[in-house]
A = this chain, B = another copy of it.
Amino acid sequence: MQKYINPPKQDWEGLLQRPPVDVSGLFDSVATVLDDIAREGDTAIVRYSEKFDGYAGTNLVVSPEEFDIAEKQIPSELKQAIQRAAYNIDSFHKAQWQTAVKVETEPGVTCWQKSVPIEKVGLYIPGGTAPLFSTVLMLGIPARIAGCEEIVMCTPPGKTGIVNPAILYAAKTAGIKKVFKVGGIQAIGAMAYGTQTVPKVYKIFGPGNRYVTAAKQLITIRGTAIDMPAGPSEVLVMADDSANPAFVAADLLSQAEHGADSQVILLTNSPELLDATMAEIDKQVRQLPREAGASSALSNSKAFLLPSVDVMMEMSNHYAPEHLILSVRNAGQLAERVRNAGSVFIGHYSPESAGDYASGTNHTLPTHGCARAYSGVNLSSFLKKISFQEITGEGLKSLGPVIEKMAEAEELLGHKQAVSIRLEHLKS
């Protein structure tokens, strides 16, 4: 980690720069694949799955038998852990339901908003080195609570055509029945356009590599919604002299193990904590199976010694971290001053891993500074709000002239007429 001692504010922007995540260079090649999928459907899926992923099978559907086999393969301790995490995620997301409030803005003019589920949603669960079954829970459970009628999940089956059993068990736990053996660009294309086998959806969720990100950006432009822009994962830890350096080091390493792209930032006002944390990192990193990736991430990472907790909070809000850990005194009070962050972990016993898996909060969060404008995935990500208004004859008599006057000033006389013709009728 590179150390910086109280850099002047004008340097913050440069020091906190993230590596650019521009995948537009991939657009041409990704668009070709998407166009082929839109035109050919399953045929293109099968062709590209063989080419990109080495899966030569034509069977794209996970069968009920495969779910059963997967369930039998999962040790009961892991099952219980998944069930308990699912329960907490369920509790937290269920509490996010809002009731519609009817507002009578004027006598006879009643307006309200109603949250309605997005009917068809698609969840993408990447493959790769580890089976990220926790993401299945994080996307599938709120989709089910929202009441989405059709929940489609795609995940790459590897060369063998077998989906990781923990992923299938998590899908079953979340109530997802339609799982397809399709990965990468093909998965995004299949769910955006629909094929003979994979249903078309209206919004696609989930993480992925650069190709998946490029495909998600392209389908947004073409009319399918996505959860949020994706980038490498990141954590910012704020620690003062009340923090335990071993905990802080472990938190930084838990993010660094995601590999070279990850961003790890430490802010502290204690020189002793800084030195002790550095020493702990050196010690702990050697115990990690993913030591190489973690070391590589750490070499790009930064530790700042700052004059006060106030300045630390200011820098954190400037950076807008995906994960923010507050390992400081009065962390609860300090949390109220967070302006830009995805998910905040308060106090010495709230590691990021808790939110990654089991506390109940969602782990699909805005990265790369997107926390300035985007929320993480939550129940409302699976809903849209529809406005309603109901106006009585009396209400229109009162409000109508206001509408007429404004429509006239905007030179939209058809808009005015729709009111005038009713007011005439009400007079007669």
Contacts and interface: CB of A to CB of B under 8 A. Distances in A.
Interface string A314-337: 000000000000000001100100
A347 B393 CA distance: 10
Given A221-B217, A373-B225, A402-B85, A359 B105 contact: yes
Given A92-B111, A395-B349, A414 B250 contact: yes
A251 interface: yes
A134 B406 CA distance: 8
Contacts of A260: none
B77 A413 contact: no
A341 interface: yes
A369 interface: yes
A191 interface: no
Contacts of A113: 96, 378
A417 B284 contact: yes
Contact of A85 (B203, B344, B371, B406): B406
A332 to B, nearest CB: 6
A410 B111 contact: no
A393 B247 CA distance: 13
Given A288-B413, A391-B359, A414-B257, A386 B350 contact: no
A173 to B, nearest CB: 12
Contact of A82 (B80, B88, B406, B419): B406
Contacts of A172: none
Contacts of A392: 347, 349
Interface stretch (A41-49, A50-58, A180-188, A360-368): A360-368
A410 B358 contact: no
A360 B88 contact: no
Nearest to A285: B414
Kindly report how many copies of this chain are found in the complex they form together.
2
B133 A409 contact: yes
A294 interface: yes
Interface residues of A, number: 135
A356 to B, nearest CB: 6
Contact of A373 (B203, B356, B393): B203
A392 B343 CA distance: 17
A119 to B, nearest CB: 6
Interface string A396-421: 10010111011101111111111101
* Top 3 A-B pairs, shortest CB-CB distance: A257-B414, A105-B360, A225-B373
22 contacts: A95-B101, A96-B101, A111-B361, A116-B339, A118-B372, A118-B373, A131-B411, A133-B409, A217-B220, A224-B373, A225-B370, A250-B421, A254-B414, A257-B414, A294-B414, A346-B388, A346-B389, A347-B391, A353-B407, A353-B415, A365-B387, A366-B384
Interface of A: 22, 24, 77-78, 80-82, 84-85, 87-88, 91-92, 95-96, 98, 101, 103, 105-106, 109, 111, 113, 116, 118-120, 129-134, 166, 202-203, 217, 220-225, 229, 244, 246-247, 250-251, 253-257, 284, 287-290, 294, 331-332, 335, 338-362, 365-366, 368-376, 378, 380, 384-393, 395-396, 399, 401-403, 405-407, 409-419, 421-422, 425-426
